[in-house]
Structure 1
Amino acid sequence: MSDTTTVDRLRTALSDVAYPAAQEQLADHASRNNADEDTLHAVRSIPKGVYESFDQVVDSVQLDESRDA
């Protein structure tokens, strides 16, 4: 398992999130949206706190855009 994801996978996993959202809420949404294990782990690995936007989540998560979408 990896703790990286792609922006596309993250966008799909968090498509229904209403911001601001706490890290725990983001992980819950990713889980309910059937995110792949790596994306779910990546979201769970971001620092605890409240995220004001998807862009702020993207800035906090570890990305690997060389991965398949």
Structure 2
Amino acid sequence: MGIIEEELGTTTLSDGTDVTVEYNEGDRIHLHVGRFRLSFSRAEFGRFAAAVAEGKADLLDTKDGF
């Protein structure tokens, strides 16, 4: 665990799970989902966010096809 420099965002999922994104010392980004924590470099987080956005776009395209 590092020192949190800034909380970048927080939300609660429909099932009650808390989600938090933090910027930590050492240029690390932590994504907390419930009891789980994923740790990313800036580049890794950028690739992860792009993959999530692409997945969302694909899902919406598929949904529109029905």
Which TM-score applies when normalising by structure 2? Answer: 0.23
CA radius of gyration, larger in = 2
Structure possessing the higher relative contact order (Cα contacts under 8 Å, 6 or more residues apart): 1
